[in-house]
Structure formats: structure tokens, C-alpha cells
Amino acid sequence: MRKVVKPVIRCDKCGLVIKHEEYEEFCDFCEKQTSPNFPLEITLFPHGAEDAYHANLCSWKCVKNYLIKYKKKILKYNFITMPYLSFGNKKEKQDYVEKGESFYQEFLKDE
């Protein structure tokens, strides 16, 4: 995941923090800004004791395209974890409801 950090802003005279540090996260496939509350994460676990690789994606379309584009790279890993599929509460129109519905549109659509 690519992050852009916006630094702390302090008062020039007293050093008091005016604005705290913030960061923005971006999709590892299409580079759009993602929601920090609900990233779709794929984790690739290598053979042995190496560190796992995490890819954060903004939509199920990007998950599908990421899996297609990096198929050869992914097959070199021991195993991967896929994003959880959660529908939440449609009355509240939460972000993950849309992501759950878009999963069906990308992966299970009738052709």
C-alpha cells in the first residue's frame, strides 16, 4: 500500500500542534485514494520465514485485475489470503455494503 503522509503543523511561536499528522492511502493497482476504514487487502505469504507482502486495493474490480496481472508473481508464493466479504447494514449505506455487492458484479456475474 502506498501512503502519503501529511506532516504535523505546529505554531511557529509556541510549538503547539495546530494540525495532527494525517495520511492518505492509495490502491496498489489503480492508484486511486482508498478508504482507510475498509481496504480490500490481499496478503501473499512466501515460503520460509520471509515477510508477507500486503496489497491494498480499492474495489473488487481492482482485486480481480490485480490477480490477473500478477498471476505469475502470486503463484511463486506459498499461499494468499483474500479480502473478507461482508455486506453490513444496507439501511446505513455503509461502504462495505457496496464492496460486497461489487464482488458479485465482478466475480459471479452471469455471462
Tell me the pLDDT tens digit for each residue of 3-18: 666 677 788 888 888 7
Q: Is residue 36 part of a domain?
A: yes
Q: Is residue 10 part of a domain?
A: no
Cβ-proximal residues to 6 (8 Å cutoff; 6+ apart), any chain:
21, 22, 23, 24
Residues spanned by the domain of 70:
27-107
Share above pLDDT 90 across residues of the chain, in percent, rounded to a whole number: 12
Q: Is residue 8 part of a domain?
A: no
Q: Is residue 20 part of a domain?
A: no
d(CA 38, CA 87): 12
Q: What is the pLDDT of residue 66?
A: 93
pLDDT band at 30 (very low <50, low <70, confident <90, very high): very high
Q: Within its chain, how far is the Cα of 56 from the centroid?
A: 3
The mean pLDDT of 42-63, rounded to a whole number, is: 86
- Statement: residue 101 has pLDDT above 80: no
Q: Is residue 17 part of a domain?
A: no
Amino acid at 97: V
The mean pLDDT of 30-54, rounded to a whole number, is: 82
Provide the grid cell at 52: 508477507
Total domains present in the chain: 1
pTM: 0.67
Q: Is residue 72 part of a domain?
A: yes
Q: Is residue 5 part of a domain?
A: no
